[in-house]
Amino acid sequence: MTRKLFGTDGIRGRTNAGVMTAATAMRVGQAAGTYFVRGGHRHRVVIGKDTRLSGYMMESALVAGFTSVGMDVIMTGPLPTPAIALLTREMRADLGVMISASHNLFADNGIKLFGPDGFKLSDEAEAEIERLMQGEVKLAPAEGIGRARRIDDARGRYIHAVKQSVASEIRFDGLKVVVDCAHGAAYQVAPSAIWELGADVVTLGVSPNGTNINDGVGSTAIAALQARVVEEHADIGIALDGDADRLIVVDEKGRAVDGDQIMALIATRMHDKGALTGGGIVATVMSNLGLERYLAGRGLTLARTKVGDRYVLEAMKAGGFNVGGEQSGHMILLDHATTGDGTVAALRVLASLVRSGRPASELLHVFDPVPQLLKNVRFDGGRPLDDARVKAVIADAEAQLAGRGRLVIRPSGTEPVIRVMAEGDDRAEVEQVVDAICEAVHAAV
């Protein structure tokens, strides 16, 4: 069965419009609850959220849905997505739910589901939940309705867990770190974890008001962090997104460091210690060709997947890899988490900074990226990539770059845009190719 509601990262959309309504959330709760009610034990779901205004509404609707089919609900309040994955597993829950639209602005929201093992659901499981949403679910009898309660120690549990990802002898004393939490889910836990390990922490994006999440702050808007790092003479800057499953770093000179360089650093360190499994790392088609060349030079592979951290994770599990991620900053370190965790990745970077004694600008420049350009073309409907004129321009571009670069064109799985990316050793050629394709898509829409 084809999924219609679920995209590459759960269900996502504009709140109170289209699919992202309280009614949909309640149906998700009823359908997912029905899917996971198996066996005679008391069934349980953990629900977390980021700091969006609509989180209260969606949370209440999900609670109504789950309890109506007999599941008990544990609510954590604002916590990162990886924390919900962790708590789902630790609390022996049947299901975990994160209410978040990740890096999108506050008007959007989303629903991500985790199985009892803490991993995101498969495409097949999501398709079955969609099927159940279309029919009548069996409601629990009056005496079997679920109970709901909030827990107060969820933040402390997560902070303790992420600190375990760093060797016990490592302390961050002497490091000045600017931490930008995007006014999002990690606004309390990420600065606390880094401070508890000894760093001098300067915070940014830690005053959520329901509508300012990802607004001019966070991993997709790093200008404020870059300026603050330089102003504070900090050693490094850490930028998370709204649900804290991705990480972008800023070095002491204010320069951005993307997920490709972070993966290269972590993989190199682990390989040198004999701790890297799978013979390399997993990344998506968007990762820079320079990363692939660097890994090959060290006898390591770069296994590529389509875009989406769920597909990275699937390839990691299938191939026995323990490091994977995306250029956009999703970092999956399977030794410590079952999904992308920006805070865990940040602690690993800070630990490497301490061990090396080198400035971030040196440590985090692991390889020379080839020129790469990504542009987005927004569209209101239709299938512009099926247009004959667009296909012709893409074919010409592929022929032009053959043997000297790569071309990746895809519709986003989370918003109505076509992403056009090209890379190669000739920057002017890359820009010309991307502009030509974007113009063709514009004309088609």
Taking the CA atoms of residue 177, residue 227, residue 212 and residue 312 in that order, the dihedral angle to the nearest 10 degrees is: -60
What is the rounded distance in angstroms from the CA atom of residue 82 to the CA atom of residue 267?
Answer: 20
Q: Is 168 a catalytic residue?
A: no
What H or E segment, with its residue span, contains residue 146? none
From the list 102, 165, 192, 328, the catalytic residue is 102
Spatial distance between the Cα atoms of 99 and 79, rounded to a whole number of angstroms: 10
Of the candidates 199, 198, 196, the one whose C-alpha atom is nearest the C-alpha of residue 176 is 199
Residue positions counted in the chain: 445
- Using a 10 angstrom Cβ sphere, with 0-12 exposed, 13-18 middle and 19 or more buried, the burial of residue 386 is exposed
Task: Tell me the three state secondary structure of residue 98.
Answer: strand
How far apart (Å, rounded) are the C-alpha atoms in residues 17 and 358? 50
CA triple 248-315-93, angle to 5 deg: 80
Residue matched to tokens 């191939």: 319
CB 233 within 8 A of CB 225: no
| Count of H-run helices and E-run strands, the chain | 14, 18
DSSP 385: G
- CA–CA separation, 404 vs 402, rounded Å? 6
Catalytic residue set: 102
